[in-house]
Chain A
């Protein structure tokens, strides 16, 4: 969790990163073909597989071991949420999953973030935003659409906040880690957090890793959701 996937990819062949390997899962052929064209036109990305249902997607992802999966929420047989769960549960080094959706207010979006997706993307996003979002998630040291994720988390988490959960979380995290988590929920990148706290980026990285490990989550998105859900950060 401490090494980003950028580091992994560089590790293979020196300084030239191999392209990001991407799998698309969407029941609409039109959406898949458009995403393939858009991402394929980028030099550093490569669409290595496509699936039309969640049931197709899970074994395909296990076999191809991509870096990123663009996963539609609503699919026949197994939907994007359950497919996300299954992929994350069954792999030792699972890909980052970006949920792709038509409607932002879809309750499923939040469910898929809870299930472990790293972020979500609206299908109506522009080409440039879309490509940028994929790179951002691959780099993984910042939140994708922090405001939107915060909004979602705040809206859904408000009712679930429980005092003992906050106490447990406070007890488990060090003071520094709590400060880092708070800045993470504000959508800051590691560099920004380092700047704010007046420490080196490497130190921040260590703290972030500590937070993720202690919360038992995979990445920042999950950490932010967990922070909201247990009431560590209050909405508003």
Chain B
């Protein structure tokens, strides 16, 4: 109610320039008219201001995003019901103009009432008790000097509140219709989406091709090296170097392209992201993959803010899969603890030899990014044969406006053939 009232007052404020303009113009056209003093002429100026507002909305496409922003934050209309961007097509401009007129009309009326009614109501409420008021030339009929005065004052306030409420509800209903995406907007959005998908598709196909060719060449080189290992060790050496080089390039390309594909993935709300509620299932799957996990949970991990819980789940998931990827199926210790306003996540696993990769791969970077998004931090290091990943997330999840990436990304899949080995 409060926000909608502000939205209406904003409408009144937006009306002012048009209103002032017509207030100046009307006396020039009509002799003796005085919109600034005469209430009747005031309404004439008000009426004249609305077509001007409509004209402005028609001429300036940028008005729509402004109005959309106001509606979204003040009227509680979900963003997905409203169009994005300037009103380009004439259909969109016409609807924006209609909306603008409605907003300014309702806003002008409610603002006028908001400004004038409370003082009048106060006077009416106080009339029976304040003698001097009765003798001041306020133009209040004698009728209200008794008990009717306060009643009329209350009625006046109720009228203002009722009007503001009604106008707010009405505007809230009309907003999605007039400020929602036009068919052209929807078409444009669909086309954008299609173009995006096509480019993602192309990227994925090129990646598939490139990695497929690289792996094929590597297979051949490895086979050749094995075949001539004894007779031509020099060839075998060159083949190994070529294999190293080729695979390195292929992995770098994978990293780059998958990164691109994930970035574009950001806004895809395909499936609800899992939270720590799904921790047991995750641990079950990890154990099924051959990784013995010992998990300890301290404190109320179940009641965390959804955003913290979601990101925590992803971090645990990445941590476990990292352990499997780099250390193999070794025992992993997972600790989750809620303490002093933060969630502590720790994943530990023994590693054989020095395998610490400076900077970390995609997994570690992803973890650090997630932690940072929430205002926390993550570190990973090897010490005395134990790889330890630690992430701290503030429980409030500060500054989280966006959803983090949802896709886990699929690597290039090498096909296994049916054409080989048949005679």
Indicate whether A148 sits within 8 Å of B419 (C-beta atoms), given known contacts A30-B246, A124-B216. yes
Chain A window 133-146, contacts with chain B (Cβ cutoff 8 Å), 1 for yes, 0 for no? 00010000010011
Q: How far is the CA of A148 from the CA of B231 in the complex (A)?
A: 34
> What is the 8 Å Cβ interface bit string for chain B, positions 391-423, against chain A (1 contact, 0 not)?
000000000000000000000001101111111
| Size bin of chain A's contact surface | 20 to 34
Is B237's beta carbon under 8 Å from chain A? Answer: no
* Residue A75 at the chain B interface, CB threshold 8 Å: no
Q: Does B332 contact A (CB under 8 A)?
A: no
Q: Does B379 contact A (CB under 8 A)?
A: no
- A120, B227: Cβ atoms closer than 8 Å: no
A37 to B421, CA, bound (A): 21
A133 to B421, CA, bound (A): 9
B220 close to A122 (CB less than 8 A): no
- Chain B residues positioned under 8 Å from A129 (CB to CB): 420-421
What is the distance, in angstroms, from B293's C-beta to the closest C-beta of chain A?
A: 36
Asked if A30 contacts B217 (CB within 8 A), the reply is yes
A125 at the interface (CB under 8 A from B): yes
Chain A residue with Cβ nearest B416: A124
Q: Is A48 an interface residue (CB 8 A)?
A: no
Query: Of the candidates A33, A38, A132, A151, which one forms a contact with B223 in the assembled complex, judged by CB atoms under 8 Å apart?
Result: A38
Interface residues of B in 138-195 (CB under 8 A from A): none
- Cα distance, A126 to B418, chains bound together (Å): 13
Contact with A147, one of B231, B238, B239, B422 (Cβ below 8 angstroms)? B422
Are B231's CB and A41's CB within 8 A? yes
A41 adjacent to B228 (CB under 8 Å)? yes
> What 0/1 readout, one digit per residue, does chain A (25-50) give for beta carbons within 8 Å of chain B?
00010110111011001000000000
Q: Which residue of B lies closest to A130 (CB)?
A: B223
From A31, A37, A132, A142, contact of B228 by CB (8 A): A37
Q: How far, in whole Å, are A105 and B418 apart by their CA atoms in the complex?
A: 10
A25 to B221, CA, bound (A): 16
20 of the cross-chain contacts (CB-CB < 8 Å) are A31-B216, A31-B217, A33-B221, A33-B224, A33-B238, A33-B239, A37-B225, A37-B228, A37-B235, A38-B227, A102-B216, A103-B212, A104-B417, A104-B419, A105-B415, A123-B220, A126-B223, A129-B421, A145-B419, A145-B422
B242 to chain A, nearest CB (A): 6
* A-side contacts of B419, CB under 8 Å: 104, 120, 122, 145, 147-148
The answer to whether B227 touches A41, judged by C-beta atoms less than 8 angstroms apart, is yes
Task: Tell me whether A197 is interfacial, beta carbon within 8 Å.
Answer: no
List residues of chain A with CB under 8 Å of any chain B CB.
Answer: 28, 30-31, 33-35, 37-38, 41, 102-105, 120, 122-127, 129-130, 132, 136, 142, 145-148, 151
Contact of B242 among A30, A102, A120 (CB under 8 A): A30
Chain B residues lying within 8 Å of A102, measured Cβ to Cβ, are: 209, 212-213, 216
Q: Is the CB of B418 within 8 A of A104?
A: yes
Which residues of the other chain, A, contact B417 by a CB distance below 8 angstroms? 104, 122, 124-125
B264 to chain A, nearest CB (A): 25
Q: Does B219 contact A (CB under 8 A)?
A: yes
Assess whether B38 is interfacial by the CB under 8 Å rule: no
CB distance from B422 to the nearest CB of A (A): 5
B31 within 8 A of A: no
Q: Could you tell me if A31 and B220 are in contact, using CB atoms closer than 8 angstroms?
A: yes
Cα separation A102 to B239 with both chains bound (whole Å): 19
Contact A125 B420 (CB under 8 A): yes
* Chain B residues whose CB sits within 8 angstroms of the CB of A148 once the complex forms: 418-419, 422
Most B CB within 10 A of own CB, among A33, A136, A146:
A33
Least CB distance, A45 to chain B, in whole angstroms: 12
CB distance from B243 to the nearest CB of A (A): 9
* B365 on the A face (CB < 8 A): no
Q: Report if B324 contacts A (CB, 8 A).
A: no
Bound CA–CA A48/B84 (angstroms): 66
Task: Please state if B415 and A103 are interface contacts (CB–CB under 8 Å).
Answer: yes
Chain A nearest CB, measured from B420 CB (Å)? 5
